[in-house]
Amino acid sequence: MTESSIAPRPAAFSYPGHGPNATTGIAICHGFTGSPLSVLPWAEDLAAQGFAVSVPLLPGHGTDWRQLARSNWRDWYGTFESAYLQLSARTEQCFVAGLSMGGAIALLTAARHPVAGVSLVNPGLSFYDRRVRVIGVLKYFQRTTLPIQEEQPTADVTNDGDYSRTPLAAVHELKKLFGTATRGLHQVTAPVQVFKSQSDVVVPATSLLMLRQRLGPRLVEVVDLHNSGHVATLDVDAPEIFARSSAFFLAHAPSTAPSARTAATPHTTSETS
């Protein structure tokens, strides 16, 4: 195997920005059992345009399912929040973005900090599997389950680690995160853009329905993706995501920095059931 053929390993991505867009930051969050590799082409496209970009690697991700089982939603959120705060401190305006679970984390960040806007790809706030209602008990009787698989995936394959099993303890943490993010939607004041795949077998349509109901006019754009599955940032519709999200960031970036930043320190979180 030659050096050029070695698949990249999961790692955080950051770019300081260049040119006139360097004053605008975009913090992007990957999804559950994923890694920055799933949103790397998006991040690289934004970096090529001069935006300052940060994509942290969340705890328990990019390794294996055993590590994931030992992490919790507060670890995931706290890592992304720290990345956002660092990026926000060195830019004039900072957006948040996310894929799947990363969408819930981005929304929670927007509820707690003065972000300039939010761009989401197949954001998760709900589940298809009704067994998640009793996941807090089920996790003590069943340690893991098989991950959700698309029948004919068209997205590029990434090496995110060994997630051949999904720990139910981590699914319980995901449920807590979704609940906390949903309850915070009324606090989101920034404009929100959503890309939604029509053939998404991972995140049900109820997630978008909740966003429509609870965000109202703050949900300024919903883009239907007709040719991609769940990880649309690596799929056929990726160029449309890149182009339309860039236009969204440019359209909603204020010309001057806010006079004061109300979020100087991370927001403390409390565990929910």
Is residue 32 a known part of a binding site?
yes
CA distance 217 to 189: 10
CA distance 144 to 155: 25
Handedness of CA 235, 181, 166, 61 (dihedral sign): positive
The residue written with tokens 């981590």 in the block is 170
Q: Please provide the distance, in angstroms rounded to a whole number, between the alpha carbons at the two ends of the chain.
A: 48
Q: What SS3 class is residue 251?
A: helix
Is residue 1 a known part of a binding site?
no
Give residues with Cβ within 8 angstroms of 5, minimum separation 6. none
Q: Which two tokens stand for residue 163?
A: 């997630």
Separation of CA 217 from chain center: 22
Catalytic residues: 100, 200, 230
Separation of CA 45 from chain center: 17
Binding residue positions: 32, 101
Residue numbers belonging to the annotated binding site for substrate: 32, 101
